[in-house]
Amino acid sequence: MIERRYERGIKNLFDIYLPICDNTMVFDNSDTTPVLVLQQIKNDLPEILDIQRFKQIKNGKE
């Protein structure tokens, strides 16, 4: 149940929320210090700051 919800949440982030948000920052908080992975200003391309973590998030791997 939690895995399904996580996967659906990631899909919704990329399919629904990123296109409509004015400003977006995606953090990986799986460790003690959060890491900024992606930031985007509306109508601009996202700036990926950590490609490895981005790929893990995009592929639905925690």
* Domain boundary assignment for the chain: 2-58
Which is nearest to 35 in space by CA: 44, 45, 25, 43? 25
The answer to whether the pTM exceeds 0.85 is: no
3-class secondary structure, 23: strand
Q: Which pLDDT belongs to residue 58?
A: 87
The H helix count followed by the E strand count for the chain is 3, 3
- Of all residues in the chain, the percent with pLDDT exceeding 90 is 52
pLDDT tens digits for 12-48? 988 998 889 999 999 999 899 999 999 999 888 899 9
pLDDT tens digits for 45-59? 899 999 999 999 888
